[in-house]
Chains A and B, each alone.
Chain A
Amino acid sequence: SAVISQKPSRDICQRGTSLTIQCQVDSQVTMMFWYRQQPGQSLTLIATANQGSEATYESGFVIDKFPISRPNLTFSTLTVSNMSPEDSSIYLCSVGLAELSSYNEQFFGPGTRLTVL
């Protein structure tokens, strides 16, 4: 398994500002992902954070709104830009560990609870 930490754990922000969320893993991992969990809803994949190259975004998410960095195999950041109240969500980082099978099991961080006023 992997131990994943996120900073900040929660924040309250003003409309129009930006917030950068950090994800730190205790070991090198091949894959890192960012998810959003809107209030009362399920998780939606935002993007895959690629080490040394641009992130791969899912449909409905764009780099200008959610820029992502991944400078090495243990760290990634997600920025929520020009925030609006609709961005109020829990943002979760997850990592995939390579196993003998083709599936990379995912482990999740504790999440960052964002409230935009």
Chain B
Amino acid sequence: AQSVTQLDSQVPVFEEAPVELRCNYSSSVSVYLFWYVQYPNQGLQLLLKYLSGSTLVESINGFEAEFNKSQTSFHLRKPSVHISDTAEYFCAVVRRDSSYKLIFGSGTRLLVRP
């Protein structure tokens, strides 16, 4: 069975500092990987995804994630965070042979302080 682990439930960081949100997965088959963001009192938005090709993927708002097959990781990074990045971040996987069943991690709350 697949699982997704986000070790950090909350990550406090000062504005303009770098941040890394960790995500590890376990699966016996190949997966697609995603990061979703949930701003306060809003629904989930897709932040970025890895389907194939380059292992480094980027979002339009400065986040990036790198797929590392040997370490089964898909950590999310941003070199300089803003107050507006405060949100809950969820890592998720989909088995390539099931095509749609998203399995989510427990989430990491990023708290950006001035």
B100 touches A31 (CB 8 A): yes
Which chain A residues border B42 with CB–CB below 8 Å?
A: 110-111
A contact residues, range: 20 to 34
Measured between C-beta atoms, what is the minimum distance from B108 to chain A in Å? 10
Complex interface residues of chain B between 63 and 114 (CB less than 8 A to chain A):
90, 94, 96, 99-102, 104-107
A42 touches B100 (CB 8 A): no
Query: When the two chains form the complex, which single residue of B46, B90, B99, B106 contacts A104, counting CB atoms closer than 8 Å?
Result: B99
A103 touches B51 (CB 8 A): yes
Which chain A residues border B94 with CB–CB below 8 Å?
A: 103
Which chain A residues border B100 with CB–CB below 8 Å?
A: 31, 33, 48, 96, 103-104, 106
Q: A42-B104, A110-B43 are in contact. Are A101 and B90 (CB under 8 A)?
A: no
How many A-B residue pairs lie within 8 Å, measured between CB atoms? 49
Which chain B residues border A107 with CB–CB below 8 Å?
A: 46
Which chain B residues border A96 with CB–CB below 8 Å?
A: 100
Taking the complex as formed, is A108 at the interface, i.e. its CB lies under 8 A from any CB of chain B? yes
Closest chain A residue to B43 by CB distance?
A: A110
Measured between C-beta atoms, what is the minimum distance from B51 to chain A in Å? 6
B49 touches A105 (CB 8 A): yes
Complex interface residues of chain B between 39 and 61 (CB less than 8 A to chain A):
42-46, 49, 51
Tell me the bound Cα distance from A43 to B4 in angstroms: 12
B43 touches A111 (CB 8 A): yes
Mark each residue of chain A from 17 to 40: 1 if its CB lies under 8 Å from any CB of chain B, else 0: 000000000000001010000000
Measured between C-beta atoms, what is the minimum distance from B72 to chain A in Å? 18
Mark each residue of chain A from 66 to 105: 1 if its CB lies under 8 Å from any CB of chain B, else 0: 0000000000000000000000000010101000011111
Which chain B residues border A106 with CB–CB below 8 Å?
A: 46, 100, 102
Query: When the two chains form the complex, which single residue of B44, B51, B106, B107 contacts A108, counting CB atoms closer than 8 Å?
Result: B44
A residues near B, CB below 8 A? 4, 31, 33, 41-45, 48, 92, 94, 96, 101-111
List the 5 closest pairs (A to B, CB-CB), nearest first. A108-B44, A110-B43, A42-B104, A43-B104, A108-B43
7 more contacts with CB within 8 A, not counting A31-B100, A33-B100, are A4-B43, A42-B105, A42-B106, A42-B107, A43-B104, A108-B36, A108-B44
